[in-house]
Amino acid sequence: MAGRNAASSDSIKQSNAILASLHQGLAFHQQGDVEKAKEVYESILKIQPDNFDALQLLASLFQMVGNNLIAIELFDKALRVKKTYAPVFSNRGNSLKELNRFDEALQSYDQAIALKPDFTEAYTNRGATLHALKRFDEAVRSYDQAIALMPNYAEAYSNRAIALHELKRFDEAVLSCNQAIALKPHFAEAYSNRGNALRELKRCDEALLSYDQALALKPNFVEAHFNYGALLQELKRLDEALIRFEKAIALKPDHSKAYFNRGAIQQELKRWDEALISFDAVLALRPNDADAYSNRGAILHQLKRFEESLASYSQVVHLKPNDAEAYSNQGALLQELKRGEEALERYAKALALKPDYAEVLSNQALTLQDLNRLDEALMSCDQAISIKPDFAQAYSNRGNVLKDLQRLDEARSDYDQAIALNPDYAEAYFNKSLIEIVTGNFSEGWSLHEWRIKEQKKKAFYYNFHSLAWRGQESIQGKRVFIHHEQGLGDSIQFCRYIAMVKSLGASIILEVPKPLVSFISSMACEMQVISNGMPIPEFDAFCPIMSLPYAFKTSIDTIPFHTPYLFPDKEKVKRWQNKLGESNMPRVGLVWSGNHDHKNDHNRSVRLEDLLTCIDLPIEWHSLQKEYRLHEIELLNQHPEIHQHQNDLTDFSDTAALIACMDLVISVDTSVAHAAGAIGKPVWILLPFIPDYRWLLDREDSPWYPNAKLFRQNENRSWADVIHRVKQNLAERFK
């Protein structure tokens, strides 16, 4: 008996010691001293491996520090000791939820509730798990059960509001947030959630106020800053939105959504380099974010970093192989890179995924047009319009194709339809202006031509000053007028003839032109100040783009200021060229067969050097007036030394003009050199595609702009061979 009593006494002492240790461990636990609490619990389990309290407390400790796998093992051991303890099932569910093992978590909460039907916290956590599983109706019911058990449970109301939001029951979500706030007036999360619901209800001022209240209570509330920024972004208060996203990022440097939205705003503001940094940050955090790659591709496209842009779009296709838009974006970029066949391949993939993709059909038409597959291009536009009858861009694109088919009345009708659908469609007005001018209807044509300034693609060419935008209506007597270059070099050469007319109205002139033109344009017999692009602009009273001058002076075909020369080669440079070229017993002819490769119409207006070589057997001294060559042309020219090259001596257009002056004739495709020859009064033969640029009009061999020009046009077969044959015949006749 005495032995048994001693054993019983030892057992009591051990139990008391363990109980004391548990209290000590719990104290450390509550103080946040994880290591000491862990040491105590583990020491108990060495003595009593199945001590329920030590097991579940140690599990909750591991849960607290985020080691949920070990926590679950310990909760399971505890439940093997005591199978009917509801809080352990609930805590085990919390760890499973943290590990995104939502179905298992749900089972654990259900077991907790089965053991304890009034377990409010388990209902709430169960609601959060159902939310994660996107079972929002069930989540709302679970929160309702929690609220029924504890009517003053503010957190349950707030969480319920989030689930209602997902169900698009926004009015109910606002009411649920209001109930949470009434119970807990300093509940920042509830204010933020209410702001989200009010935003969806378009009650934007109330939503902004709700976010303000959330942030007043919790200034470093990351999601409130983000949501506030998202609403400001929707309201186009972009600078304010950026501040919110910057704050969210400062508080949470791995907030990928804030980086994404910041990038989207920077992209909209055309702050391309900053936007690129933002989307790169998104991809560092979310390497498989296809949307970030897509936006990044668009930005690189704008920065003309085409190969990088294409690589970014390729990542989108890799991540979303069934996304028609991804293939469409690839196609648009390849189209711009003049890789037409590849572009068509991408468009075909987009259409295979989405046959009714009208935008792709419309863009595909542009590529087919560039490839001179005009009938197919027309069919593609027709399909786009049949799918989307109110698609203004498709009508405008079809008008362009019809123009290239020289079906001009039909083209004009399509532009009118595009304008009827979108009265602010600048590109359609501009396209129509080209039809009117090329057909000689200058009055309407030059008026419509003013829409180019509003075209998105052309805005970079134009200034937006607060001064008078002069177009001929107001008196400029005694005023300083700033006239600026736009678009190509040839445009400034052609239209600078109007400067003297502006001067005659009593104005003093500041003329801005590209640097290569400064010396040449300065030769005009008109007092003016000529400055180069990028130089500081002197003070002025009014301004006008140079290509608006025909409109300002109400130019008709009969009133074109056509007297040449109006520009003059530098006499000293002409002498230098004459000395360099020496005497010749043959006529000298200058050649230009290709223009800027990046020009959108280069594929139509340029001639292959190989085709021109059929003329060089004539008794003529040939001189290339080109400054740049394509790679294959360099080798070909080296094989034909009879074509003299001068590219290393052409530093600007005054050099080119002086060389032109030494020629007996210039033969050129539609480039700035043709305009330079025309402006100095040198005989020039201009080779034109079947559908010429608007300035050359239709069906005539002369030009009202340059009386010294002769026009050689392609016929319906669109072949340069026939044009060059006629040129050769005319050369033989001229220099016989």
Q: Say which residue, 121 or 57, is predicted with more confidence.
A: 121
Gap between the Cα atoms of 26 and 707, Å rounded: 102
Indicate whether 337 belongs to any domain: yes
Per residue in 512-566, pLDDT (tens digit) is 999 999 999 999 999 999 999 989 999 999 999 999 999 999 999 999 999 999 9
Q: What percent of the chain has pLDDT over 90?
A: 77
Q: Residues 174-195: what's their mean pLDDT? A: 95
Alpha helices in 600-668 (DSSP H): 602-605, 609-612, 631-638, 653-661
Smallest CA-to-CA distance from 498 within 405, 445, 561 is with: 561
Q: Are both 617 and 516 inside the same structural domain?
A: no
Label residue 587 by pLDDT band (50, 70, 90).
very high
Indicate whether 25 belongs to any domain: no
Cβ(714)–Cβ(723) under 8 Å? yes
- pLDDT attached to residue 411: 97
Final residue of a structural domain among 252, 282, 312: 282
Q: Which residues pair with 667 in a beta bridge?
A: 591, 685
Q: Which residues pair with 512 in a beta bridge?
A: 484, 531
Gap between the Cα atoms of 402 and 435, Å rounded: 11
- pLDDT attached to residue 1: 44
- pLDDT attached to residue 5: 57
Per residue in 220-266, pLDDT (tens digit) is 999 999 999 999 999 999 999 999 999 999 999 999 999 999 999 99
Q: What are phi and psi of 703, to 5 degrees?
A: -130, 130
Indicate whether 334 belongs to any domain: yes
Final residue of a structural domain among 559, 584, 611: 559
**DSSP line for 536-571:** PPPP-SEEEEGGGHHHHTT--GGG----S-SS---H
Contacts of 62 by beta carbon, 8 Å cutoff, 6+ apart: 68, 70, 71, 74
For CA atoms 253, 241, 297, 288, the dihedral sign is positive
Cβ(120)–Cβ(147) under 8 Å? no
Cβ(599)–Cβ(605) under 8 Å? yes
Q: Are both 84 and 194 inside the same structural domain?
A: yes
Q: Residues 451-464: what's their mean pLDDT? A: 84
Q: Residues 713-734: what's their mean pLDDT? A: 93
Contacts of 600 by beta carbon, 8 Å cutoff, 6+ apart: none
Final residue of a structural domain among 459, 485, 516: 459
Q: What is the CA radius of gyration of the chain?
A: 39
Q: Are both 274 and 306 inside the same structural domain?
A: no
Q: Are both 453 and 468 inside the same structural domain?
A: no
Q: 253: buried, middle or exposed (CB in 10 Å: 19+, 13-18, 0-12)?
A: exposed
Q: Are both 515 and 534 inside the same structural domain?
A: yes
Q: 45: buried, middle or exposed (CB in 10 Å: 19+, 13-18, 0-12)?
A: middle
Label residue 32 by pLDDT band (50, 70, 90).
confident
**DSSP line for 170-214:** HHHHHHHHHHHHHH-TT-HHHHHHHHHHHHHTT-HHHHHHHHHHH
Mean pLDDT lowest among 44-48, 122-126, 404-408, 632-636: 44-48
Q: Are both 173 and 108 inside the same structural domain?
A: yes
Q: What percent of the chain has pLDDT over 70?
A: 96
Half-sphere exposure of 452 (CA within 13 A, CB side): 21
Contacts of 576 by beta carbon, 8 Å cutoff, 6+ apart: 658
User: Residue 574 pLDDT more than 90?
Assistant: yes
Any idea what the Cα angle at residue 361 is, between residues 356 and 367, rounded to 5°?
160
Cβ(438)–Cβ(448) under 8 Å? no
Contacts of 589 by beta carbon, 8 Å cutoff, 6+ apart: 620, 621, 622, 623, 663, 664, 665, 666, 667, 731
Q: Residues 339-347: what's their mean pLDDT? A: 95
Work out how many domains the chain is built from and give that number: 4
Indicate whether 3 belongs to any domain: no
Q: Are both 455 and 468 inside the same structural domain?
A: no
Per residue in 545-555, pLDDT (tens digit) is 999 999 999 99
Q: Residues 401-429: what's their mean pLDDT? A: 96
Q: Which residues pair with 685 in a beta bridge?
A: 667, 710
Q: Are both 247 and 307 inside the same structural domain?
A: no
Label residue 595 by pLDDT band (50, 70, 90).
confident
Q: Are both 56 and 197 inside the same structural domain?
A: yes
Smallest CA-to-CA distance from 165 within 153, 155, 154, 175 is with: 175
Sheet holding 684-688, edge to edge: 643-644, 621-624, 588-592, 665-669, 684-688, 709-713
Sheet holding 542-545, edge to edge: 468-469, 542-545, 480-484, 508-513, 529-532
Q: Are both 705 and 619 inside the same structural domain?
A: yes
Indicate whether 388 belongs to any domain: yes
Cβ(538)–Cβ(510) under 8 Å? yes
For CA atoms 491, 494, 495, 499, the dihedral sign is positive
Q: Are both 299 and 443 inside the same structural domain?
A: yes
The boundaries of the domain holding residue 93 are 41-282
CATH code (residue 680): 3.40.50.2000
User: Residue 457 pLDDT more than 50?
Assistant: yes
Cβ(471)–Cβ(544) under 8 Å? yes
Gap between the Cα atoms of 736 and 728, Å rounded: 12
Burial letters 91-129, b for 16+ CB under 10 A, else e: bbbbbbbeeebbeebbbbbebbbebbeebbbbbbbbbbb
Indicate whether 289 belongs to any domain: no
Indicate whether 36 belongs to any domain: no
Indicate whether 386 belongs to any domain: yes
Q: Say which residue, 67 or 20, is predicted with more confidence.
A: 67
Cut 0.95: pTM above it = no
Any idea what the Cα angle at residue 405 is, between residues 403 and 407, rounded to 5°?
65
Per residue in 287-316, pLDDT (tens digit) is 999 999 999 999 999 898 999 999 999 999
Per residue in 198-227, pLDDT (tens digit) is 999 999 999 999 999 999 999 999 999 999
Based on DSSP, count helices (H) and strands (E) in the chain, helices before strands: 37, 11
Gap between the Cα atoms of 356 and 303, Å rounded: 31
CATH code (residue 368): 1.25.40.10
What mean pLDDT value characterizes the chain?
Answer: 92
Smallest CA-to-CA distance from 718 within 679, 689, 677 is with: 689
Q: Residues 275-284: what's their mean pLDDT? A: 96
**DSSP line for 451-495:** GGGG-GGGGGG----SSEE-SSSS--TT-EEEEE--S-HHHHHHH
Q: Are both 527 and 661 inside the same structural domain?
A: no
